[in-house]
A and B are shown apart, each in its own frame.
Chain A
Amino acid sequence: MTALLKGGLMALGAACVLLLAGAFPLLGAPEVYRSGAMMLLGALVVLLCVWGGWRLASGRRGQLIFGLVFLFFTVTGLNMLFQYGSKALEYAGIGGPMWAGFVGMGCVALTGVLFMAVFGFLCYRVMNQRVLWLAGAHWAVALLGIGAFVDAAYEVRMPITMPADGKTELTELFLDDGRHFPLGFRLRVDDFTVQRYDDATYTIYTFENGRPGPAQPVERRGDMLHLGAESWPVSALKQAPGMPHPFLMLPGNPARVLVQRPGTVRDYCAHITIFTDHRGRPELRKEELRVNTPTACKDWRFSLSSYRQSAEGTEVLLQARRAPGRFAALAGMVGIIICTAVWCWWRKEEQA
């Protein structure tokens, strides 16, 4: 055990040195993390974790494996509660037939609670020794490492810029390195909406001899804008083709223009349509893509990263990703969280 421990300590120490070398604050986070040294170290950590978990669970390995399977189903129940609970809240926010939504979500939530109760009880009975949770934490790290390795080798990730015109369709991806991936479905951005906080600012820009002079902030009181003795109604500011923000040309010499800077972005949403197939039949999916709610189709996941607005229209910045190791990595993370918590918080006197 001491040799294994020393090996583990050396691997962790090496990981710390490598992280420190790369993560020194003024250097930023360079490419050292994607280097061969990190890959080698990752492989070593995975092997040590598998071995360490195996040794820790000596004589109780069957118990550990069954316990982890039950833990997986318990977490699945928790996930159902979390996912559908948040969707129920979202549904309540949208309005509509509330009772139908709540009954549906309530049924799913009840299923989640039952899953958690049954499998959580079984997990509790099987994993009734503190050391098994420590072994589980080691295996969870190994699972995360394996997922990360699979992703490092096979992940495809690409930023995409798409106009929100309801016409342009995404059917395949061309990576910078020349690789080409047909998606197997079509994706279109129909519309894009932006919500803003009510903190727009107003500024007057003066132009003298064609050059911009000093900018003067304008105070808003109710529906009126004030600067000294002058005032203008907010409704007088208008949008115009080629101008990114509402503005008002003010009379007099030198030329002055009153411009509204839009408020801070509160939320944005891309309304997308996916033309795919389900069990051999064509399927049309209309979805709302938001920053924290990506969508998935076949092996691909699409996240909304950002957007660009110009006089020509809105361009939506998406991230397309195919990550075969993602599920293993995420399961490993959840396993680490749970197993570490139980191991650390389990009272020491209950070990025996």
Chain B
Amino acid sequence: MITVVYALTIFSLLLCLGSVLAAVLKRPGDCRRAFDVAWVAALLLFVADWVLAQAPPFGNMRHVLAFFPLVMVPAAHYLRRFRGLELTAWLAAASAIALVGALCMPLQAAWRQMPALQSPWFAPHVVAYVVSYGLMTVAALLTLASFRCDARLAAADAVVRLSLPFMTFGLWSGALWADAAWGGYWAWDIKEAWSLLTWCIYLIYLHVERYPAFASWRRPLLLLGFAAVVVTFLVVNLLPKIESMHSYAQ
């Protein structure tokens, strides 16, 4: 089963890279098809992870990173269909980054879901954050690209607007969950503090984005927000010296 998990991760990664390559070669149909197949591979990977862990596979960093393509493909369809934005290649690139990260993480076969995680809030909280962080990665990539083409910044704005409600849900559903599990909705845990900081940076962005006077703030704020996402998601969890109530996510 471990071989299957690795094979599916690599297959999914290659398809995401293929999707990006097809976009570079100006073949949008192939780009979408490759990303759709990557979604099927990611779904199979999710099932394999579930079988291996004997629980919903959100127990460690590898599980969560491997879940990214599963939410990025529907987001690409949504953006194309309802927002008129063809961002498949960008979402595929973000998924590829996440899958490379998943391949770098150790594969812990058995994951035991501790009592605090056995809550109806668990899956929605994690999934909302995965969607949000994935989309914010896309927004950051688009912001970098906007230094060459200004139109990308408008696309980044649309992606942030799609993503922020997921981040908001992730942050405050975590507080509602903590109220039941830990006897208090806020404990100023380092992960909570960084999540709040990240949310505040994106709030500043939303406050300034429609005013021409603040136009020069937009790119730095989006990049700063993404840096905060990276610290919240990776650094806080991976630095061994940090004591956190969220340490089970390490």
Contact = CB atoms under 8 A, between A and B. Distances in A.
Interface of A: 2, 5, 8-9, 12-13, 15-16, 19-20, 22-23, 25-26, 28-29, 33-34, 82, 86, 148, 157, 197, 199, 264-268, 290-294, 301-303, 305, 319, 321, 323, 326, 329-330, 333-334, 336-337, 340-341, 344-345
Contacts of A15: 200
A293 B119 CA distance: 9
B74 to A, nearest CB: 15
B180 A20 contact: no
Contact of A19 (B110, B161, B165, B200): B200
A162 to B, nearest CB: 15
B169 interface: yes
A23 B190 contact: yes
Majority secondary structure, A binding face: helix
Interface residues of B, number: 51
B239 A25 contact: yes
Nearest to A17: B197
A197 B208 CA distance: 51
Contacts of A199: 110, 112
Interface string B185-223: 110111011101100110110011001010000000000
A336 B116 CA distance: 25
A333 B172 contact: yes
A186 to B, nearest CB: 20
Max chain B CB contacts within 10 Å: which of A13, A23, A302?
A23
Contacts of A319: 182-184
A9 B208 contact: yes
B194 A23 contact: yes
Contacts of B197: 16, 19-20, 23
Contacts of A5: 207, 211
A344 B112 contact: no
Contacts of B60: none
**Top 10 closest pairs, chain A to chain B, by CB:** A303-B183, A319-B183, A23-B193, A341-B165, A333-B172, A19-B197, A264-B112, A291-B115, A292-B119, A33-B188
